[in-house]
């Protein structure tokens, strides 16, 4: 995740979009929690690990804005900020149970997880909507990204079914 953070910082310097700056913070925060995280009771197949990392890297592929409307930039930034606030709450609540690939590190059902089953993915989708509206080409990346989040959520549900 630290490597993704470095790439996100590079993308932020290129585009000056708040999305990439918040992605830097996400990646470095996640990297910190990964260093301290709990060992997994069980892990998913190798294929799911690779898919999870691809999914985590997808936001780095978004294209630069082609729309110059101040209103759309404002909507985009609000979407990004709201989405990343959800991600922050989810990350803090997960704490040392955080992981990229589906694994059983314990079931979290407090905080934002009481309200939403997969708040981190919801936050990513909300924030990525902000980039999708700034460049029509980003819509394809957004759709692939959502598909991967849905697949990851289903995989996590299977991995956690044992302890529910």
Q: Is the pLDDT of residue 36 over 70?
A: yes
In the prediction, which pLDDT does 58 show? 92
Task: Single out the residue of 35, 31, 41 nearest to residue 3, CA to CA.
Answer: 31
**pLDDT category, 160, cuts 50, 70, 90?**
low
In order of their start, the domains of the chain are 2-163 (1.20.120.1630)
Q: How far is residue 78's CA from residue 18's CA, in Å, rounded to a whole number?
A: 10
Residue 47 phi, psi dihedral angles, 5° rounding:
-55, -40
Structure tokens at 14: 């290129």
Q: How far is residue 42's CA from residue 102's CA, in Å, rounded to a whole number?
A: 9
Q: Is the pLDDT of residue 159 over 60?
A: yes
Q: Is the pLDDT of residue 149 over 90?
A: yes
pTM of the model: 0.84
User: Alpha-carbon torsion 88, 58, 63, 2, what sign?
Assistant: positive
In the prediction, which pLDDT does 164 show? 46
| pLDDT tens-digit readout, 84-142 | 999 988 888 877 667 666 566 666 777 888 888 889 999 999 999 999 999 999 999 99
**Can you spell out the DSSP letters for 85-106?**
HHHHHHHHHHGGG--SS-EES-
In the prediction, which pLDDT does 99 show? 67
| pLDDT tens-digit readout, 37-91 | 666 665 667 788 888 889 988 999 999 999 889 999 999 999 999 999 999 888 8
């Amino acid at each position: 995740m630290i490597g993704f953070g470095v790439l996100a910082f590079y993308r932020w310097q290129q585009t000056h979009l708040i999305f990439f700056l918040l992605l830097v913070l996400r990646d470095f925060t996640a990297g910190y929690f990964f260093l301290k995280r709990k060992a997994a009771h069980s892990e998913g197949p190798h294929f799911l690990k690779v898919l999870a990392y691809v999914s985590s890297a997808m936001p780095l592929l978004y294209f630069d804005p082609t729309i110059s409307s101040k209103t759309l930039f404002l909507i985009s930034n609000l979407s990004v900020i709201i989405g990343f606030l959800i991600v922050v709450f989810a990350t803090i609540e997960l704490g040392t149970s955080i992981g990229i690939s589906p694994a059983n590190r314990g079931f979290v059902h407090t905080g934002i997880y009481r309200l939403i089953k997969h708040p981190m993915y919801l936050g990513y989708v909300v924030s990525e909507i902000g980039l999708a509206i700034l460049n029509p080409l980003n819509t394809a990346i957004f759709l692939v990204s959502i598909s991967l989040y849905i697949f990851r959520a289903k995989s996590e549900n299977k991995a956690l079914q044992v302890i529910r």
